[in-house]
Amino acid sequence: MIPVKAYAAFSATTPLQPFQFERRELRDHDVLIDILFCGVCHSDLHQTRAEWGDALYPMVPGHEIAGKVMRIGSRVTKFKAGDTAAVGVMTDSCRQCNPCKSYMEQYCAESMTGTYNNYERDKKTVAQGGYSTQIVCDERWVYHVSDKLNLAAVAPLLCAGITTYSPLKFAGVRHGDKVAVAGLGGLGHMAVKFAVAMGAEVTVLSTSPFKERDARRLGAHHFVLSNSGQMEKLKGHFNIVVDTISADHDYSPNLKLLALHGKLLVVSLPKVDPHVDPFELIKNRRTIIGSMIGGTVETQEMLDYCAEKNIVADVEVIPIQYINEAYERMLRSDVKYRFVIDMASLQ
């Protein structure tokens, strides 16, 4: 077994604290990664605070993992020691069902194995995430990262990046499309970067007036305060709205903004079920599309696309001892635009 240091949540109401546990010895197809950086996703906060129901404690969160390969199993072909590598939101799946055979393992008929707050395929080992010094993962769920990019800023691509890239591609964003991004946080700022790179005319819908300058720096063409009268003028305006709002909210205000055949891309996961007005849904034959991260092939494609276009997240690098304060700031929408833990602080 491989001993690792970590930070874990021990209950829904107590701060994260230092924790030690063991990773499994390498199987034939496993890769051992020394974690250098791990992004902090709002899903980490939702899950450590048991906002999605059952939570497994102690819970080591973290699913935006970037580091170096230390060792490989005897039958690993994709990686060698010293490679820069990354792990995202899942680490396994049934591998047999249709979604798995199509490399859309996030939609596995028997559920993907989440990187943490989940049982591994043996149904008894608790999966633990990236707020830790090392991780062991089957090579299918490990990705290559270009050494051209700043590794701390690459880490958030593993969740915030792929979660916004995948639905934008699925929706077929074309040059000149009008795309709105609701919520300028970790996911939102990546959605802006990708939509701009795909040639869209991008509008940020935000509750935070102080984010306007950043929105424009990130490439957005317009900025609208979503809790103001300005939304009224945008009814029927957009081809696509990407909903990344972490707080409880209804879908209808964003649905109203869609033009004929417009699509509401929902990636946010608040705790309370949203209200949808069916009259707004049938108007303009609108569609609501949910989307969960991205599969293994698409995740590698996204990382290669980012290397080619020089796209990374805007990050604030923090020591792990700052994590509880970082969570509080995330709740206040005070993140520019992703916290990333420098794992050297845990050594």
Structure tokens given for 82: 């010293």
Does 252 sit near ligand NAP (CB under 6 A)? no
Q: From the list ligand NAP, Zn ion, none, which binds 296 (C-beta under 5 to 8 Å, kind-based)?
A: none
Least distance (Å) between residue 266 CB and ligand NAP: 8
Kindly indicate which of the ranges 137-145, 147-155, 243-251, 318-326 contains the residues binding ligand NAP, using the contact rule CB under 6 A. Answer: 243-251
Least distance (Å) between residue 39 CB and ligand NAP: 9
Please give the residue whose beta carbon sits closest to ligand NAP in the complex.
Answer: 185
Least distance (Å) between residue 196 CB and Zn ion: 22
Return the residue of 146, 284, 287, 333 that touches ligand NAP, per CB under 6 A.
333
- Give the total of residues touching ligand NAP (CB under 6 A): 32
Dihedral angle, C-alpha 169, 272, 231, 241, nearest 10 °: 10
Instruction: Name the residue nearer to ligand NAP (CB basis): 120 or 316.
Output: 316
Q: From the list ligand NAP, Zn ion, none, which binds 100 (C-beta under 5 to 8 Å, kind-based)?
A: Zn ion
Structure tokens given for 213: 């300058």
Does 137 sit near ligand NAP (CB under 6 A)? no
Q: From the list Zn ion, ligand NAP, none, which binds 193 (C-beta under 5 to 8 Å, kind-based)?
A: none
Return the residue of 55, 70, 292, 318 that touches ligand NAP, per CB under 6 A.
292
Return the residue of 157, 330, 340, 346 that touches ligand NAP, per CB under 6 A.
330
Are residues 38 and 341 in contact, defined by beta-carbon separation less than 8 angstroms? yes
x-or-dash string of contact with ligand NAP, 147-186, rule CB under 6 A: ------------xx--x-------------------xxxx
Least distance (Å) between residue 231 CB and ligand NAP: 12
Nearest to 122 by CA among 150, 102, 94: 94
Q: From the list Zn ion, ligand NAP, none, which binds 276 (C-beta under 5 to 8 Å, kind-based)?
A: none
Q: From the list Zn ion, ligand NAP, none, which binds 206 (C-beta under 5 to 8 Å, kind-based)?
A: ligand NAP
Binding site for Zn ion (CB under 5 A): 41, 43, 93-94, 97, 100, 108, 159
Least distance (Å) between residue 336 CB and ligand NAP: 10
Site for ligand NAP in 77-96 (CB under 6 A): none
Backbone φ and ψ of 263, nearest 5°? -125, 130
Residue 258 and residue 203: Cα distance in Å, rounded?
13
Instruction: Name the residue nearer to Zn ion (CB basis): 231 or 292.
Output: 292
Give the chain's end-to-end CA distance (angstroms, integer).
19
Nearest to 76 by CA among 141, 148, 161, 124: 141
Contacts with ligand NAP by CB under 6 A lie at 41-43, 46, 159-160, 163, 183-188, 206-208, 211, 244-247, 249, 267-270, 291-293, 330, 333, 335
